[in-house]
Chain A
Amino acid sequence: MKCLVTGGNVKVLGKAVHSLSRIGDELYLEPLEDGLSLRTVNSSRSAYACFLFAPLFFQQYQVATSGQDPLRCKILMKSFLSVFRSLAMLEKTVDKCCISLNGRSSRLVVQLHCKYGVRKTHNLSFQDCESLQAVFDPALCPHVLRAPARVLGEAVLPFPPALAEVTLGIGHGRRVILRSYQEEEADSTVKAMVTEMSIGEEDFQQLQAQEGVAITFCLKELRGLLSFAESANLSLSIHFDAPGRPAIFAIEDSLLNGHFVLATLSEPYPHSQDLRSPELCRPAPQLQAHSTPLLDDFANDDIDSYMIAMETTVGCEGSRALPSLSLPPGLQPPCSPGPHSEEEEDEDEPSTVPGTPPPKKFRSLFFGSILAPAHSPQGPRPVLAEDSEGEG
């Protein structure tokens, strides 16, 4: 593989790496026919981020040297980021950046051609890996919001940088509401300040969602994409579904696209998170319409019984039909139903990966392996999990 980036695109690439670095510790680099893909996932598998740079983004783009299979590699994010650490320096001094991957050497070579004939070469070690691919499809999400990134960047300004979770939804009068989400701690005597930002429908290029829908996700993980989109002056689309199902944040232009897929809180909302303020409340709480009584029970089930049910899906009678259960009525599962389907969401099994951080209330995203699409559920879980992943 060989890619050559020149001019202002070097900084764009650097910014993308910065955004990805806020999500995960390892960067998956894969040259595809469509372009160079950079992906990462966080340790609790609740956030996945991916940038795809089209061949036109590069002055030269060569997927594979003749006769060789395209290489896929996994690099330490820290190492790759160190090449692009100073964006100001990239802008001022770097003319060209060449990324090459040679199957024979076990090094990813990133060479920066700078002013005054200075050439900086970074030889980064990598590991071969399976392709990291999250299963998601924005087209299947019923709710879409789209706005210039600047609008969303301004919208998150009132929230402290340390704030983890935020709820996004549609309030009364079709206003888009962002509200800080605090986990309710029974023993805390000091309550935290709640901040809410309300934006009018007119600021959005697209608003396809009814009043009352809302999702809660980790704002910190989104900030990386927001700042990238703001600097590139792009619009950000948010595709989401019922609480618990991942939300997809996407940006796109002719040379690149980016997708951040974040898990959303699956609990039915505590009453305090009703985004329609009490004075303006409608008589029928629309939020409940999405969840069938069965779903509510399901959401409260403990993790173990969910896991067991999943593994015995094949040929068992009497157990609930899981794929349809996890979706509100009327939606098709994005992947083909059947025992070999790759499920949309999954929980980390605490017992199998003791080293990982305790599962948050967020469901983790499920990653399939591109190399082996057909897996029986009873087989080894086709998560990208390497055995060494245990240190989390």
Chain B
Amino acid sequence: MKFRAKIVDAACLNHFTRVSNMIAKLAKICTLRISPDKLNFILSDKLASGGVSMWCELEQENFFSEFQMEGISAANNEIYLELTSENLSRALKTAQNARALKIKLTNKHYPCLTVSIELLSVSSSSRIVTHDIPVKVIPRRLWKDLQEPTVPDSDVSIYLPVLKTMKSVVEKMKNISNHLIIEANLNGELNLKIETELVCVTTHFKDLGNPPLASENASQARNPEQMAEVHIDIRKLLQFLAGQQANPTKAVCNIVNNKIVHFDLLHEDVSLQYFIPALS
């Protein structure tokens, strides 16, 4: 198993840093999947994450000037590593004034992802910062749990409002109740609702627009005013929103009535899918 990659472009480096900061906010421990064309940050829907799952994908050639990998075998040319996301974002934080950044899989008494950063220095000599991030190599037999989640057939698909606005609304609602209802219809309307014994608060977002539907049959059957809703844990939604620092290029929300809400975002060229299940 081998992995070596290098970033020399400052913009690519900053972008990669932003991605890792986002992942660090979304998942404490995640899986990094390395394949010849892509890098994925994965959180699978285990009990530990409360059923939340995440799939983040980026094309390696958009970031790395050099990229070499060799998976565990020719037939299975992939590497799955489990790591603490905060370590990666902390390591990349020191790369703000870097001339070059190298990442490689190493074995220093235990497997590590070694991030080596050459800093710009006023003097002639360079300064080098090395971070050894401990990782766990995930064996082949567990890979099946870490595959791209299938996008469910949603009842309603809608474009999200400005995430920052959503976040501030949800933050205030969190103080009132842990239980949030997210509902939307094919008329571009999305509501965030909380209901307690004493008070009900609803925030209405209108004129959001709906993406063109995949299957024509489903759309014709459904009343555009009819809301599809999911009851979710508000903290999971807040964690997702807190992770989005910039407004994405594209943001779609897919709701399967009473089952699951699926967020499909595109930050420039990095795609992020986040699934929050309904409260049982």
For A278, list chain B residues within 8 Å (CB).
108
Chain A interface helix/strand/loop/mixed: mixed
In the bound complex, CA of A278 to CA of B132 (Å): 14
| B130 in contact with A193 (CB, 8 Å) | no
Which of the residues B91, B126, B127 comes within 8 Å of A193, measured between beta carbons? B91
How many whole Å from B106's CB to the nearest CB in chain A? 10
A139 adjacent to chain B (CB < 8 Å): no
Contacts A191-B110, A191-B134 given: A201-B125 contact, CB under 8 Å? yes
Instruction: Determine which of A193, A196, A200 lies in contact with B134 in the assembled complex, contact meaning CB atoms within 8 Å.
Output: A193
Q: Does B87 contact A (CB under 8 A)?
A: yes
A154 surroundings in chain B (CB, below 8 A): 127
**CB-defined contacts of A373 to chain B, threshold 8 Å:** none
User: Once bound together, how far apart are the Cα atoms of A191 and B125, in whole Å?
Assistant: 32
B123 in the interface (beta carbon within 8 A): yes
- B90 / chain A contacts, CB cutoff of 8 Å: 160, 193
User: B130 touching A196 by the CB < 8 A rule?
Assistant: yes
* Chain B, interface SS category: mixed
- Is A324 located at the chain interface by the 8 A CB criterion? no
Contact B128 A197 (CB under 8 A): yes
Q: Does B94 contact A (CB under 8 A)?
A: yes
Considering only CB atoms, which chain B residue lies closest to A179 in the complex? B130
Name the B residues within 8 Å of A199 (CB-CB): 125, 127
Tell me the minimal C-beta distance from A174 to chain B in angstroms. Answer: 10
Q: How far is the CB of B216 from chain A (nearest CB, A)?
A: 51
Interchain CA distance A193-B115 in the complex, whole Å: 11
Per-residue A-contact encoding for B239-268, CB less than 8 Å = 1, 0 else: 000000000000000000000000000000
Pairwise interchain contact B94-A158, C-beta atoms closer than 8 A: yes
B123 touches A200 (CB 8 A): yes
Residues of A near B179 (CB, < 8 A) are none
Rounded to whole angstroms, the CA-CA distance of A157 and B132 in the bound complex is: 16
What is the 8 Å Cβ interface bit string for chain A, positions 101-119, against chain B (1 contact, 0 not)?
A: 0000000000000000000
Tell me whether B129 is interfacial, beta carbon within 8 Å: yes
B94 contacts A193, C-beta separation under 8 Å = no
A200 neighbours in B (Cβ, 8 Å): 121, 123-127
Does B131 lie within 8 Å of A194, measured CB to CB?
yes
Interface string of A250-265 (1 = CB under 8 A from B): 0000000000000000
Asked if residues A193 and B131 are in contact (CB atoms below 8 Å), the reply is yes
A317 within 8 A of B: no
Asked whether, in the complex, the Cβ of A195 is within 8 Å of the Cβ of B130, the reply is yes
Quick one: closest A residue to B110, CB to CB? A191
Given contacts A199-B127, A202-B123, 11 further A-B contacts (CB under 8 A): A158-B129, A193-B84, A193-B90, A193-B132, A194-B108, A195-B132, A197-B128, A197-B129, A198-B128, A200-B126, A202-B124
A residues contacting B by CB (< 8 A) are 154-155, 157-158, 160, 190-203, 272, 278
Name 16 A/B residue pairs within 8 A (Cβ), A-sorted: A154-B127, A160-B90, A190-B84, A193-B91, A194-B108, A196-B129, A196-B131, A197-B128, A197-B129, A199-B125, A200-B121, A200-B124, A200-B125, A200-B126, A202-B124, A272-B109
